[in-house]
Amino acid sequence: MRERRLRAIAIMIAAVAVFSFMDGLLKLLAAYYPPMQVAALRGATSLPFTLLPVLLRGRWRDLKPRRWRMHLLRGLLSVLVMGGFIYAVRALSLANAYAVFLSAPLIVAALSVPLLGERIDWRNWIAILAGLVGVLTMLRPSASGLSTLGTLAALVGAIAYAISAIAVRVLTRSDTTVSVVFWTVGLMTVFTTAISAPGWVPIEHAHWKWLLGLGVLAAVAQYLLTEAFRSAPPSVVTPFEYTALLWGVAIDRLVWHVLPSARVCFGGGLVMATGLYLIWHQRQLAGGEYARETWQPAAEKGRMLGYSSTVEVVARKQEEDSP
């Protein structure tokens, strides 16, 4: 058991690293193309790799959507997630964008109260508020208006990602994982292509290899992520998703020769600490049942969608109430 969990942790760290290098490619592309066009290219390069396992197995029926409204909602949310994130990495360093985006689990916990009727004890509220203080620290207006807009874009993406995290738990009760992934990415690609079409910039010949790299890295990262969650309970591997910030710092230093400011380090540290506390506290409350829970990874980025027992309960109730 110990060896299996250590293997799962190593796979999770590798998955986050691959996702980070993929995000580095997004940042490179964002320097030449509008954010929505980059999001469309990101989706288009991922779709063939999403369909390949279905094609090889001949299981086309797995793509059948059962809850169109929920698929449309996640498709629209993915436009905000990818558009906000890509704009953020264009204006900010990877580490700065990650520091804000990693607030998604805190936002999930906060939104679960008005959206799901969840009750959160005072310890969790203190953790959420402390994490939001970290976000506000990073949101403090700077001398660069572009930097401030980039931080706000990352926050918008994180909020959309949090809502998507709640929606995915409902969808995976009636639809297959491959259906959720395909329709989310597919609809996001259609929507972002339509938005970016009027100002579409022709792809430079030298950048086609970057697009191929996007598709390959996305496929490898999603496989590693799935394998990590299959090999160990989410309470074991989820905390290591925060290594994204370390990978972001390393890539920023090696490629762009920048480091995060003290303000971002402080705010990002608060966000990470409070997020890890929420994961630990949820595990303590749920006990063994939490550890045995199976996991379905999300579609658009595959990160930072920690388990929520209340989301699971609401998802089950909505499934029972649906026709």
Model confidence at 32, pLDDT cuts 50, 70, 90, reads very high
Average pLDDT over residues 280-304: 53
Each residue's pLDDT tens digit, 293-322: 443 444 445 343 443 333 333 333 333 333
Residue showing tokens 């939104």: 111
Each residue's pLDDT tens digit, 86-99: 999 999 999 999 99
User: Given this model, what pLDDT does residue 286 score?
Assistant: 63
Each residue's pLDDT tens digit, 186-210: 999 999 999 999 999 999 999 999 9
- Asked whether 85 and 244 are in contact (CB, 8 A), the reply is no
User: Given this model, what pLDDT does residue 230 score?
Assistant: 81
Q: pLDDT at residue 157 above 80?
A: yes
User: Given this model, what pLDDT does residue 313 score?
Assistant: 37
Tokens for 22?
Answer: 């993929």
User: Given this model, what pLDDT does residue 222 score?
Assistant: 83
Each residue's pLDDT tens digit, 242-261: 999 999 999 999 999 999 88
Please give the angle made by the CA atoms of 233, 234 and 236, to the nearest 5 degrees.
75
User: Given this model, what pLDDT does residue 146 score?
Assistant: 58
Burial-class residue 52 by CB neighbours within 10 Å (0-12, 13-18, 19+). Answer: exposed
Task: Give the integer Cα–Cα distance in Å for 313 and 319.
Answer: 10
Average pLDDT over residues 259-280: 89
Please, which residues have CB within 8 angstroms of residue 212's CB and are 6 or more apart in sequence?
45
More confident residue, 258 or 105: 258
Tokens for 243?
Answer: 């290594």
Average pLDDT over residues 14-22: 95
Q: DSSP of 207-274, one letter per residue? A: GHHHHHHHHHHHHHHHHHHHHHHHHS-HHHHGGGGGHHHHHHHHHIIIII-----HHHHHHHHHHHHH
User: Given this model, what pLDDT does residue 49 score?
Assistant: 84
Which three-class secondary structure state does DSSP give residue 4?
Answer: helix
The rounded Cα 74 to chain-centroid distance in angstroms is 12
Average pLDDT over residues 81-88: 95
Which three-class secondary structure state does DSSP give residue 213?
Answer: helix
User: Given this model, what pLDDT does residue 181 score?
Assistant: 85
Each residue's pLDDT tens digit, 47-80: 988 888 888 888 888 888 888 889 999 999 999 9
Q: pLDDT at residue 144 above 70?
A: no
Model confidence at 145, pLDDT cuts 50, 70, 90, reads low
